[in-house]
Structure 1
Amino acid sequence: FYVNIHSEANPSGELRAQLVNEAAAYFVAPLSGASEVPARRTGASGMVILEVNSSGVTGTGSAMNLSSPVATDIAGGAHIHRGYAGQNGPVIQVLGLNPDNGIFTAGNNRFAITEGWGDTLRMRRHYVNVHTENNPMGEVRGQLLPLATTYFTASLSGQNEVQPVASGGLGGLKLELTGNQLALTGAFSNLTGDFDAMVAGGSHLHIGAPGENGGLDITLTPTLAPDLKSGIYTAGDNTYELTEDQVATLRAGNNYFNLHTTEYASGELRSQVLPEINFFPSDEAAITSPADGAALTIQGDPNTPFAPQWDVATDRDQLAYIWQLSATDDFSAILVNQNVGDSQVFETTFGVVDLLLQTAGVGLNESITLYHRALASDGSVATPGASASVTLTRGVVTGTAIVDKENLQMKAFPTVTRQRVNVRLQSSQPYGGQLLLRNANGQALDIRPVQLTVGTTDEQIDVHQLPAGIYYLQLVIEGQLIGTQPVIVE
């Protein structure tokens, strides 16, 4: 049985509590695919409650809407594992889950507790995992946490950075809010760079919505592995008293976690901090233009808009969109990976597309088939919409304006940097153009419009999120490549 309190704003229930036996302590595991490592898109969810007494532990709960039958051949299909949020660990206790109805009954889930087991539980280092035939590594998972007013979750990845970074790192966090006290626990691993404590401590909660970069709010305290590639967050080191404004920001979904490394100084792993249970956004962000199978000739006026568009996706939380252009239909060869915030369009020009094609080795009157899609992201997990293929033929792009190349100059300084590059543009007349930043493989990392005035125009490009290497700044005006400037990021 459970108690449910309904309100006008939440007619299905705003407050709920399970009726359980009296115990010395309770631990709750909200089950979701977002808590798996890595996060898994599923409509399944659930909850497990542990009643802890000196005589032992009793577990109850359920899992619902699983995508396939419970994998009972994997030691019954449900277990308690050892590991922080963001870690995968060994089974330490088999749970009794009825595969027909997804219920954990008290009669099938009573077991003894040892002193060490209880200590690990209080450290938030146990999680429940339910394995299914479609997802043998786990379809829904939940960290066992002490009772709190509100639970929050974060799934860490480089794809959540603004702009996205190519990192194999991953991790997860759980946050417990009780009154104005916040406890944070979790883990991260497999960083590309070393954790960089020189960046104001190395990891923080920031203020900002998905697709936005914002100011630092709370500096966190991890316990790092010797190689600086992984670490954990314990409640003992990461419990904070929040102000009313900080509580309001957290509840509004306007905090995000960010972790800084020597390779990605502005952030290698990021996630929005969102209320449990978090589901993936819908898959409705389908490409509408250029539609699947479209054929376009990139020719004529270089300022002709090239603006892929997609449908809006739905989610409980705020959404941002990431537009991806790939040379392959499985999106394993990404050419452009751009977070556009809450916009449903990626805006550039024929002149920029022509330069992309030229760099990719596409000659005049030659064609190439590319693939594009939009990811709908709540800042923690993302869902791709239906992709579309587009065949682009490279025609002759000619500007209507005469570009005075001899009186156009681009100078980037410093050419060896770790933080940012200053770009000074000098022109004898006003022009509209684009600045592109590419890596050595030709992938466009940043495409931004610039408006040149008569005289000097200054731009600044932040590169401290990039791994060390050689990059290329390019200025395009009226579809013409004006200059290329190499930049070395240390």
Structure 2
Amino acid sequence: MRTMRWISISLIGAAATLQWGCGTELDPTDDVTLSYSSALAGDFMEPVVASTGTGDIDVALDDDDTLRIEGDFDNLVADLREFGGGAVHLREDTDEETARSLFTFDVEVDDDDRGGSFSENIDLTEDQVQDFRAGRYYITVHSAAYPDGELRAQLNESAPDVSIFDDSWGLMLTTDAQPHDVDSDAEGWMWAILRSDNTVVISGVVDDLTSELVEINGGAVNLHDTDDDEDTGPLLFNLDYEMIDEDSVRFWYTATLSTAETLEMESGDFYVNVITEDNRDGEVRADINHDDRNFFEEIWDDVMDDRDPTTEDPPF
């Protein structure tokens, strides 16, 4: 799995061979040799992203090697934001850590800045047709919360789909959420998505940790289920993570829950705990429930406004 940088400033590569025309409606009467639709979802990002955003891409390749792409998306967790020259990129999958950006689309942005639509025609060379047919092209949509990409769609006929989501949670990770005293200025945010097929997706970031992460019972960032009438409970999953810098961590995870686990998550029994050397019971925590939904919605835009998209600084 490719690990992406927290903020990736992808320069537009030498893609002069791509000739872009005006966006047009896809016409089923044209001489189309290949056509299909692909879903945009955070689940397809590498690593995965918990996003309420959804979207679709329609693709058609004509017999004159013109590639036509139309797409739309909405309900991003944060405002659409330009990174590396644009907010929506066509990329070529390579062996490099950060895939090459071939083009940035002109997006007609919705009034809420959380969605939009785009349409382009591309005249491909023979080599580019081969790359496209091999499934090497994909599209990413970038936001203030997820500068490396909040949504992704792979451009191939067998691209996976996702089920609708049953619930979503935007949460702050704080020291106050811990049932024990913590002397720390650490703070973070996370999103959790629960889909109708019992798939859960979690991603987030914590900044200003007091000390190094410590793995206990297999992990340093963990998902737990609370016991009845208790503040803590058993470990469910060790989340994946990477350090952004010496005191900031980014984490993510996806799994399929059992029916019982799904009911417990919907009941607000799950929580995420981040463990450090100085706080082995947990430095920051987020309870996955809707108790603080109004508070989170009030502060979320301010949290995102504090980000500097020209640097690789974490969000706090």
Decide which structure has the larger Cα Rg and report it: 1
- TM-score of the superposed pair, with normalisation by structure 1: 0.34
TM-score (norm 2): 0.49
